[in-house]
Amino acid sequence: MVEKVVIGNAELWHGDCREVLPLLPRFDLVLTDPPYGIAFAAQPTKWQRRDGKMPEDWDNAPAPDWLMGLMREKADRLIIWGGNYYSLPPTRGWLAWRKPDAPPSMADMELAWTSMDMNSKVLDQSISATNAERVGHPTQKPLRVMAWSISFAPDARTVCDPFMGSGTVGVACSQLGRSFVGIERDRKYFEMACNRVAQAQAQGALLTPEEQRQPVQEGLL
């Protein structure tokens, strides 16, 4: 059963994005971190196992290509973390999160495909620096990485994350004063996201873009 929770200027949907997204309007920006299909959640690290994390199967297969196409129809601009795992059009506007303290068993960086015709950019952010903000999602992105991603669409007032997880994009939007719509099908993570967004909304706008960016020309992708 689909459920919608409204928190300030944020809408959080508990449901499958394959069912919910077609019902939603067009957005200025879709920023999301979908399953990569690498079964990372099915293989908790020793630190996650120590904290009681059990194997989960939602990352056993990537999102279908048609859903990638639907997201492209629903937004003026897109930023898709893990886009290198999908069949997306060529772009020169890649984002990279470099992890200086990544262990040998993990990749040194993660990539985001964007629909924007711009120079590719890299952000250094250690894994350990995000420990204080972790809430139990196995692939939770750092808040700084998602706020940095939003800074490449400085005029985007409405942001959608169809794979909301624990709500990091929603927190970044709350702190940047952007309207947010998120979708998450797992009840546990949906409730995490509601709590985090509610706390961020209560605190008000806190973040500012890391640097002032000029408008960029959109590629016809």
Q: What is the pLDDT of residue 215?
A: 37
Strand partners, 78: 30
Check pLDDT > 90 for residue 41.
no
Full-model pTM: 0.82
Specify the 3-state DSSP secondary structure of 145. helix
Q: How many CA atoms, within 13 angstroms, populate the side-chain half-sphere of residue 61?
A: 3
Task: Report the distance separating Cα 35 and Cα 219, nearest Å.
Answer: 25
Which pLDDT tens digit goes with each residue over 79-99?
Answer: 999 999 999 999 999 999 999
- Percent share of the chain, pLDDT over 90: 67
Torsions phi, psi for 134 (to 5 deg): -70, 140
Q: What is the pLDDT of residue 48?
A: 54
Tokens of 115: 């629909």
Could you tell me the residue ranges of all domains in the chain? 19-165+191-203
Contact indicator for 123, 145 with CB cutoff of 8 Å: yes
Q: What is the mean pLDDT of residues 63-82?
A: 94
Average pLDDT, whole number, for the chain? 86
